Amino acid sequence: MTKTLTAVVAHILVVVALLTTFGILGLARNESEGADKFTGELERNVKLRVLENDTAKEMGYLDELLDAFNKKYASYGIKAEDANMDQYIDLEKDGPYGYGPDILYQANDALMKYTDGKHIQPLPVEALDCYDEVSEQAWSAYAASYAGEDYIFGVPVNIQGPLLYYRKDLLPADWQTAWDKDRNGVPDMVEYWTDLYAYSKQIKSESGGKKFGYMKSLFDPYFAMGYLFSYGGYIFGDEGRDTKDIGLSANESYKGASVIRQLASSMNEDCIDDTITVNAYSMIGNGTYFATMTTPDVYTMFISELTREYMRRDKLDRAEAEKKAKENLIVADIPKLPESGDLEDRNGKTIDSVMMGGINGYAVSAYTKAPNAALAFVDFATSYEMIMKRNQLLGIAPARADVAESVGGLSETVNKNLVAGRIEVMPSVRAIAQVWTPAQTFFSDLAKDPFRPKKDQKYTVADALKTALKKVDDQIYAAIHTLA
């Protein structure tokens, strides 16, 4: 239900009281300044610098958002504008000197690192229109506790959970008889990793290594870690808060590492670095790749490439080519994994894939001169109408359940996957930055293994994988607690 401005103001006043009471905790820079942050009145005749991601700019969404907001708040003299800054600006370094946005849009791990230095503000989120429509799991990505009190520092916009993208027109002609064993009308190779692996090997073999089935940069921890999670691995214990409990090697995570190695064998050596990630749009477009895995927010990039390919190859006009592209580019949930960890095991038990994800959202800079106007912008940008528009233009998976339900399809699936625990949100702690390099080094080495001479291969048995994963755990621990 849409909240009135009166409700927003009332909740802001509650936060004023909290900031005054707990100012010593550093939620405001000092007690008197903290009390001034939220006056309960919209600042007039102010400019708001908004930092959005590059895709939102390129696809025209940011312009639509700014125009709509500025029209609504014109009577207050409030004007929001593109901050014209790099999307990965460091507020920690630049904010204190006045160079920084008032409102930031980034992933939860990128935003929440700013809570340590009090560079972003706690927000009265209960007052926002989106509050009741966003799941507890999404809100928790922006939660932090100080002296036993819980605060929310960001407002979820979209869920970044990996999805499978594939070309329907590249399915084998006989898939309904040869590749649909349960006769449910869904190709087996997009339901089960075992079948996708088999199909990928078939394509690679039949094309002489010129075409491929599933292709992904396997060195990328954001996507690779999900295979470990699926078999019981984790990054930090205590729901991502205990940085002394590092568990990439926990339980049967070695099976996930084995899956990565097997997948690499059906690709080429491009999988050991970011070559596939960089080329995925064009390679899916021209049919070199059958499928890849990535996030919902790049859907439009694939459509653009495939549209150009149909215009070039089939001599279609843009409208016809785009229609054909949307018919043939299918986005599906992540396939199920074999319980055994063996991709040759096509008849054994399966388990759900659990993939790493994130929550992208807005935060308000602690250095803004117009916190109330900034909050109004965040409320507007996370309204039903604007999140729906964002979905239409960018293909995001909305954090708002009402928008996800209206859109249906994979947007609703991603939302439900988050609630069901099939998306493991990356920890919102500063120490997450120490995870990527050791993990990436291992995954790159693991993906390279099938391409080594047999005598030099390192990861052909379970014990070798277990030892390697434990080493990664130790390296991460040292980076956080010993070498820092």
pLDDT, tens digit, for every residue of 25-69? 344 343 334 335 767 799 999 999 999 999 899 989 999 999 999
| pLDDT, position 87 | 57
Distance (Å, whole) CA 264 – CA 460: 13
- What number is the average pLDDT over the span 243-262? 99
Mean pLDDT of 378-394: 97
* Residue 454 or 18, more confident: 454
Structure tokens at 60: 């025209």
pLDDT band, very low/low/confident/very high, at 263 (cuts 50, 70, 90): very high
> Averaged over 327-348, what is the pLDDT?
97
Q: Mean of the pLDDT values across residues 166-177?
A: 98
Per the structure block, which two tokens stand in for 66?
């700014």
Q: Per-domain residue ranges for the chain? A: 47-152+357-420, 163-354+431-482
Over 60: is that where the pLDDT of 179 sits? yes
> How much is the pLDDT for 23?
39
First to last CA, the chain: 47
Pair of tokens at residue 50: 């908004």
The per-residue pLDDT for 95 is 75
Q: Is the pLDDT of residue 299 over 50?
A: yes
pLDDT of residue 20: 40
pTM of the model: 0.85
Q: What is the pLDDT of residue 25?
A: 38
6 has a pLDDT exceeding 70: no
Angle between helices 436-448 and 253-265 (to 10 degrees): 50
Q: In degrees rounded to 5, what are phi and psi of residue 167?
A: -95, 110
Counting residues of the chain whose pLDDT is more than 70, the rounded percentage is 91
pLDDT at 14: 44
The region of weakest confidence among 23-27, 149-153, 324-328 is 23-27
Position 13 pLDDT exceeds 70: no
- Name the one residue in this structure whose structure tokens are 């849009």: 105
Neighbour-count burial of 50, counting CB atoms closer than 10 A to its CB (0-12 exposed, 13-18 middle, 19+ buried): buried
State the average pLDDT over residues 343-358.
97
Q: Do domains 47-152+357-420 and 163-354+431-482 have the same CATH topology?
A: yes
Residue 8, pLDDT > 90, answer no
Q: Is the pLDDT of residue 320 over 50?
A: yes
Instruction: Using the predicted structure, report yes or no on whether residue 245 has a pLDDT greater than 80.
Output: yes
Q: What average pLDDT does the chain have?
A: 91
| pLDDT score of 32 | 35
Most confident of 57-61, 123-127, 375-379: 375-379
Q: Which spans in 150-252 are helix H?
A: 175-178, 193-206, 221-230, 237-240
d(CA 151, CA 153): 6
Mean pLDDT check: name the lowest of 16-25, 93-102, 192-201, 423-432: 16-25
Radius of gyration of the chain (CA): 24
Least confident stretch, 67-81, 115-129, 347-361: 115-129
- pLDDT, position 99: 77
The CATH class, in words, for 163-354+431-482 is alpha beta
Q: Out of 12-26, 103-117, 406-420, which region has the weakest mean confidence (pLDDT)?
A: 12-26
Average pLDDT over residues 177-197: 98
Range from 88-97, 204-213, 353-362 carrying the lowest mean pLDDT: 88-97
Q: How far apart are CA 202 and CA 217, in angstroms?
A: 20
Cross-strand partners of 160: 358
User: In this predicted structure, what is the pLDDT of residue 228?
Assistant: 99
| Residue 461 clears pLDDT 50, i.e. is over it | yes
CATH topology of domain 47-152+357-420: D-Maltodextrin-Binding Protein; domain 2 (3.40.190)
pLDDT (0 to 100) of residue 455: 98
Q: Is the pLDDT of residue 405 over 90?
A: yes
Mean pLDDT of 115-125: 92
For 271-298, what is the mean pLDDT? 96
> What is the distance between the alpha carbons of residues 161 and 173, in angstroms, rounded to a whole number?
30
